[in-house]
Amino acid sequence: MRIAVLLAVSLLVVGCSHTASDQSRQTNTTSPPTTTAATPSVAKPSAPSSAPGPGAPISDVIAWIEAAGPADAAHYHSATRDGATTKLGDDIAFTAPTGKVTCMTDSKHTGGALECLVDLSDPPPRPATAYGEWKGGWVDFDGSGLQVGSARGDPGPFINGDGPELPDGQSLSFGDFRCRADQVGVFCVNYAHRSAVRLAAAGVEPFGCLQSVPAPDGAGEKFSC
C-alpha cells in the first residue's frame, strides 16, 4: 500500500514539471518582439532656385552663396597688371567673368575689408564734398558697413592689377567672407555680421542688417548695421 502511494506521488510531480515547462515555452514563444522608435531625420533647407532679389532674407542669400561649388582659394593670392604678376600674401583678389566686378582685400590698410571696383551703369553722382578723382563704382564692404562711391587720390590695392577670374557658379571663401560669382552679379556675405551685398553693373544691393544712412563726406552712398 505504501509503495502504491509513493508511486502516485512521483507521477504527480513529474506531470506538474512537464506542465510548467510547456507553459514557459508557450510564454516565450508568444512574447511580442521589442521595437525601437525611429529617429526622424532633419532635412537641410534647400537653396533658392534663383538668385535672391532686393529685400531677400539674409538666410536665403547665404544659402544661395553656399550652394555654389567651392573654388580653391590658393589660386587667388595674386594680381596681374600689364603682364606682371604680384603676389599678395594672405590677401585675396578676383574678378567676375563679365569683367564688371574686380575685388581685393588689403589687410595692411583696411584690416581685411573687401574693396571692389564695379562698372556701374548708373553710379552715384560725385558729391560736392568729394576731393580727388571720383570713383562712383568703388565699393568698400567690411561687414558692418557698405560704402558706394569714393574720391580717391590713388588706386589703392588695384595698383597691382586684377585677380584671377572666379567662374560663374563657384564661390570663394576668405576670412569672414564668402563670395559667389553668377551671371546676375557677385554676391558676398560677411558671416561675422550676417550681412551681404550684390555687386553688378545694374547696381549695388545690400542685405541683412545693412540699412541706408547719411553718406560721409566724399562718399556717394552709405549703409550700416
User: pLDDT digits over 76-97, tens only?
Assistant: 999 999 999 999 999 999 999 8
pLDDT given for residue 47 in this prediction: 61
pLDDT band at residue 36 under the 50/70/90 scheme = very low
Residue 137 belongs to a domain: yes
pLDDT given for residue 28 in this prediction: 43
pLDDT given for residue 98 in this prediction: 76
pLDDT band at residue 109 under the 50/70/90 scheme = confident
Residue 174 belongs to a domain: yes
Residue 120 belongs to a domain: yes
Residue 8 belongs to a domain: no
Range of the domain at 142: 76-224
CB contact at 8 A, 158 and 86: no
Tens of pLDDT, residue by residue over 140-195, are 999 999 999 999 888 999 999 999 999 999 999 999 999 999 999 999 999 999 99
CB contact at 8 A, 118 and 204: yes
pLDDT exceeds cutoff 70 at 106:
yes
Residues 176 and 188: their CA atoms lie apart, in Å, by 10
Edge-first strand order for the sheet with 101-105 is 93-95, 101-105, 114-118, 133-141, 145-152, 219-224, 211-213
pLDDT band at residue 45 under the 50/70/90 scheme = low
Residue 198 belongs to a domain: yes
Residue 14 belongs to a domain: no
Residue 203 belongs to a domain: yes
Residue 42 belongs to a domain: no
Most distant pair of Cα atoms in the chain: their distance: 133
pLDDT given for residue 46 in this prediction: 63
**If you average pLDDT over residues 30-45, what whole number do you get?**
43
Residues 40 and 43: their CA atoms lie apart, in Å, by 10
Residues 180 and 64: their CA atoms lie apart, in Å, by 8
Please state, rounded to an integer, the average pLDDT across all residues of the chain. Answer: 84
pLDDT given for residue 153 in this prediction: 83
Give the total number of structural domains in the chain. 1
pLDDT given for residue 130 in this prediction: 87
